[in-house]
Structure 1
Amino acid sequence: MNSIIKQKLNLKEVSSEDLNAALEKVGKDMVYDYFLFGNDVTYEIFLEDLKKRLNLTK
């Protein structure tokens, strides 16, 4: 999973530890959104949230 995301987002500067921590946080947020609020989360939303968590947005 990490290698797929690293290729998709070009995360050469992000360590595996930082990526794993961000994935854990974004994953928890997605589960809460779905189960508590009934919001569906698309792959694009997931990637955008991951970019924000890793401070990769411009």
Structure 2
Amino acid sequence: MSEQRRVAVTGSSGKLGRAVVDHLADHGWDVVALDQAAPARADLTSTRLDLTDFGQTVL
């Protein structure tokens, strides 16, 4: 049985972030998308947050 790999990608809705998210998801990673903007993919776990806001960052 293979081990599940999970990764959080910040800036996941940006140009580079979308490419990274697509690559990781296509290669079996469980991707958690983090961004201020709406998620680029509806099939992944996503959270809208502002990492410059300390209160949101430590949740």
Give the TM-score category using the shorter length.
0.3 to 0.5
Report the TM-score when normalising by structure 1: 0.33
Report the TM-score when normalising by structure 2: 0.32
Question: Which of the pair is proportionally richer in helix?
Answer: 1
Higher relative contact order (CA 8 A, sep 6+): 1
